[in-house]
Structure 1
Amino acid sequence: MKMWKRNLIVCWFGMFVSSVGMSQIAPVLPLYIKNLGVHLTPLIEQFSGIAFGVTFIVSAVFSPIWGLAADKFGRKPMLLRASLGMAVVVCSMGFAQNVYELIGLRVLQGVITGYSTACTTLIATQTDKEHAGWALGTLSTAGISGSLLGPMIGGYIGENFGLQNVFFITGAMLLIAFITTALFVKESFTRQDKKVLSAKEIWNSIPEKSLTIIMFVTFFVLTIALYSVEPIITVYVTQLYHNTSHVALLAGMAFSASGLANIIAAPRLGKISDKIGAQKVMLAALVVAGLIMIPQAFVKNPWQLVVLRFLLGLATAGLIPSVNTLVKRITPDSLTGRVFGFTMSAGYLGVFGGSILGGQVAAYLGISYVFFTTSALLLINAVWVYFKVYKKLSLKEEASYK
């Protein structure tokens, strides 16, 4: 087996588990905080929001820092650091004595994250050009599916094995990721940039600045689209389905349907982008995703919502591999880790921003407007991509053929 394929398999597992570790706490958080001695409902809601969101905010700050470290010391050391560190921290959450310790550990989890950044950089720099889209598409399924399936996994473990075991089982899986990374990931790393560049020097070294900004914004909008429904989905399913005994299951299925669709479609769309161009797949994915958002506001039962969320996942599956492929294409190898670090920061901010946006829009305008707002963001992004990415790269490709 080729080295990049073996690395891809190990990175996929580790990235999936680390994404589960970031998101699995969501459904059990209020119950766990109550067990830690907080009994007033408003305080439980307040602490739950802080404990969930703080990890993504801190991760957004530290991802570029770990991207710099990956360019400086190699990607494998960053994989080992992140997987072992998260294993220890997530397990420690099971031993928290009060809510402040739990929040502190969630902050620490955000600090030591960076597995996804190192994985993406490793695969992007070691995979040949002909297979880059497929490899990055396959890898992207790990992060998205882990984040979207994480709440369902966490809820299942919490209900059947106890709240503390959510953290112990996830920590054990992260430890397995550390061991498999140590044994099977191979990297031939040569540091290309001996000088530590400032943020301004890094930016000046990027040849396609406008394209890079568009990639960051597109990744941000994508994660907003996927996570804007998270705070309101249970309420929405309750309105559509009056048998309360199955609301939690149906809400979990509706939320996780996008993750399942990503697993199915992302490698295939990545392979298509290798053949026809990542900018074409990106534009089509943005338009289709924006249009699929609209009918979700008019569904009459939960099953229609599940189907539409699945179709949304099929469309958005084309975005992450396209973004990563284009970032690799326009970024010098010596800066790949740092630029992917900023891309991951945009994604983490999108997760947090999507959750806030969905909740606030639903509260002030109604649940239907969550879908309308997100659709508008995707379609506006599509227009921007058409004029600034699609037309520009298509003209370059035409010129190269002449």
Structure 2
Amino acid sequence: MSSSASSPLAKTDSHSYAQRNAAYWRRNLAICVFGSFTTLVSLTLLLPFLPIYVEQLGVHDKAAIVVWSGIAFGATFLGTGLTAPLWGYLSDRYGRRPMLIRAAVGMALLMPLIGLAHNVWQLVLLRLAAGLIGGYASSATVLVATQTPREQAGWALGILSTGSLSGGLIGPLIGGLLPGLIGIRQTFFLGGGVIALAALVTIVFVREDFQAAPASARRAEPVRLGSALWLVVAPMFATAMLVLFSNMSIEPIITVYLAEIGVGRSQVVLFAGIVMAASALGSLLMAARLGRLADRIGGGKVIIYCLLAAGGLLIPQAFVTQWWQLVGLRFLMGMALAGLLPSIAKVIRLSVPEKALGKVLGYAQSSQYAGQVLGPLLGGALGGTSGMRSVFFLTSALLLAGAGLNYLLMNKARAALHPLQ
């Protein structure tokens, strides 16, 4: 069935908001791509020098530096995951544009403060606050998913993904260069300035025709998803978690894995960086294309195909003998994973009533960050106890099981509703 088909529960509300904003969505998409890019650059540029900054803040034991660096980096994503449903709920009530402005302004203020930290506790708390208050990419997803015409939603969300993916890819490269030129603290100040520019552009140019629900409607019983819709929404949450889990379960062990297959100590860090970048590059190249495919054949089908492809590509990664083989396989896996997040957002957009759409997309964002937290924990624990190859096998099994779960539950949903994709 055509991808423009939708749940009868969602049709009227979704069309009314999208039609009211038909004149704005393309410009808003471009601004959201720019804003997502700049915020992700600023969040990830500290990766190369974070251990050095932690040491400058008074931590000198090598093991403690590693631990505090991990805590400081993960704190932002933990904060974003905790508050994404709240911001999604508020976007349903007050509009999508205010949430974008809140995230951009909050990040612009907090980034320079991170550069003014005097001890590691302040660093962690400020990074956590950046996640709690920020979340520009999450808010941008809600705005783009709801404003874009449904027949182009997959493509638009894929384009939006390229902004975040590009930021995550380029941020560490910039972070490796700037501290040597202007200093670590000044790098945070510059990052805050770039986000401030994104905030200004968002304030001036993002437009939205949002009609708040009347007070009587807000006091009415809240929207509840029926059992049939939960058959669609629940696997979307699980799949969103799998996307980040499947990537983050592997990346923490890549350096050790390369050493196991014979890469020398002098080259292992460089090659590990290339392997990690290969996955991001593959996703960057394919996100928009797979989003367009979701518009043509349906988001549900793209999700199943991408999970099968990614799960299958993990198996040969456990048997590589050369580092360049892992680069090629991670590149292909990044291409497969690229279609998942845009398709998940598209499926949710087509199936959930508009008045609850922001909140549900917020929970999907939280699921992603749960995968980002759980992936390294399980990957590191399993790799340390059962060997590096076991991580590839387990992650593959989870992705393949996710494909089967999506297939079964979507078939059940079609029995209760018209096809959603």
| TM-score, structure 2 as length reference | 0.88
The root-mean-square deviation of aligned C-alpha atoms, in Å, is: 2.5
Cα distance change of structure 1 residues 175 and 237 upon mapping to structure 2, 3 Å threshold: farther
Pair 1:121-2:142 in alignment: yes
1:191–1:334 CA contact under 8 A, matched in 2 = no
1:148–1:255 CA contact under 8 A, matched in 2 = no
- Provide the residue aligned with 2:102 in structure 1: 81
Q: 1:332-347 residue pairs with structure 2 within 5 A?
A: 332-347=353-368
Of 50, 59, 64, the match for 1:43? 64
Deviation, 1:262, is: 1.5
CA distance in 1, matches of 2:169, 2:411: 29
CA distance in 2, matches of 1:380, 1:277: 20
CA distance in 1, matches of 2:218, 2:345: 24
Structure 2 SS opposite 1:372: helix
2:232–2:413 CA contact under 8 A, matched in 1 = no
1:70–1:337 CA contact under 8 A, matched in 2 = yes
Deviation, 1:309, is: 0.9
- Provide the residue aligned with 1:217 in structure 2: 238
2:350–2:420 CA contact under 8 A, matched in 1 = no
Of 380, 395, 406, the match for 1:385? 406
Cα distance change of structure 1 residues 207 and 387 upon mapping to structure 2, 3 Å threshold: closer
Pair 1:326-2:347 in alignment: yes
1:208–1:330 CA contact under 8 A, matched in 2 = yes
Pair 1:6-2:43 in alignment: no
Share of identical aligned residues, percent? 40
The amino acid across from 1:341 in the alignment is G
Of 118, 122, 127, the match for 1:106? 127
2:231–2:412 CA contact under 8 A, matched in 1 = no
Pair 1:316-2:340 in alignment: no
2:231–2:413 CA contact under 8 A, matched in 1 = no
CA distance in 2, matches of 1:269, 1:380: 21
Cα distance change of structure 1 residues 179 and 94 upon mapping to structure 2, 3 Å threshold: same
Deviation, 1:169, is: 3.0
CA distance in 1, matches of 2:238, 2:181: 40
Of 174, 181, 184, the match for 2:205? 184
Pair 1:269-2:269 in alignment: no
Cα distance change of structure 1 residues 163 and 247 upon mapping to structure 2, 3 Å threshold: farther
Q: Which moved more, 1:334-343 or 1:384-393?
A: 384-393
1:145–1:262 CA contact under 8 A, matched in 2 = no
Structure 2 SS opposite 1:231: helix
Q: Deviations over 1:255-277 (max 9, x none)?
A: 12222112211111111111111
Q: Deviations over 1:131-164 (max 9, x none)?
A: 1111112112323443455444433434555333
Q: Which moved more, 1:89-98 or 1:323-332?
A: 89-98
2:115–2:188 CA contact under 8 A, matched in 1 = yes
Cα distance change of structure 1 residues 399 and 350 upon mapping to structure 2, 3 Å threshold: closer
The amino acid across from 1:172 in the alignment is G
Pair 1:163-2:184 in alignment: yes
CA distance in 2, matches of 1:197, 1:294: 52
CA distance in 2, matches of 1:171, 1:108: 14
- Provide the residue aligned with 1:226 in structure 2: 247
- Provide the residue aligned with 1:361 in structure 2: 382
Q: Deviations over 1:195-230 (max 9, x none)?
A: 5579x9444478611211110000001110111122
- Provide the residue aligned with 1:16 in structure 2: 37
Deviation, 1:289, is: 0.4
Deviation, 1:67, is: 1.0
Cα distance change of structure 1 residues 148 and 346 upon mapping to structure 2, 3 Å threshold: farther
Q: Which moved more, 1:339-348 or 1:16-25?
A: 16-25
Deviation, 1:108, is: 0.8
The amino acid across from 1:85 in the alignment is G
Pair 1:374-2:395 in alignment: yes
Cα distance change of structure 1 residues 336 and 344 upon mapping to structure 2, 3 Å threshold: same
CA distance in 2, matches of 1:62, 1:165: 29
CA distance in 1, matches of 2:227, 2:30: 30
Deviation, 1:369, is: 1.4
Cα distance change of structure 1 residues 160 and 374 upon mapping to structure 2, 3 Å threshold: farther
1:67–1:114 CA contact under 8 A, matched in 2 = no
The amino acid across from 1:339 in the alignment is V
- Provide the residue aligned with 2:113 in structure 1: 92
2:414–2:420 CA contact under 8 A, matched in 1 = no
Structure 1 SS opposite 2:251: coil
Cα distance change of structure 1 residues 105 and 383 upon mapping to structure 2, 3 Å threshold: same
2:351–2:420 CA contact under 8 A, matched in 1 = no
2:263–2:323 CA contact under 8 A, matched in 1 = no
Q: Deviations over 1:152-200 (max 9, x none)?
A: 44334345553334422322221121121122211111123745579x9
2:228–2:417 CA contact under 8 A, matched in 1 = no
- Provide the residue aligned with 2:9 in structure 1: none
Cα distance change of structure 1 residues 68 and 391 upon mapping to structure 2, 3 Å threshold: closer
Deviation, 1:397, is: 5.9
Q: 1:249-260 residue pairs with structure 2 within 5 A?
A: 249-260=270-281
Deviation, 1:394, is: 9.0
- Provide the residue aligned with 2:259 in structure 1: 238
2:150–2:350 CA contact under 8 A, matched in 1 = no
Q: Which segments of 5 or more consecutive residues in structure 1 lack a partner in the other structure?
A: none
Number of matched pairs: 399
- Provide the residue aligned with 1:34 in structure 2: 55
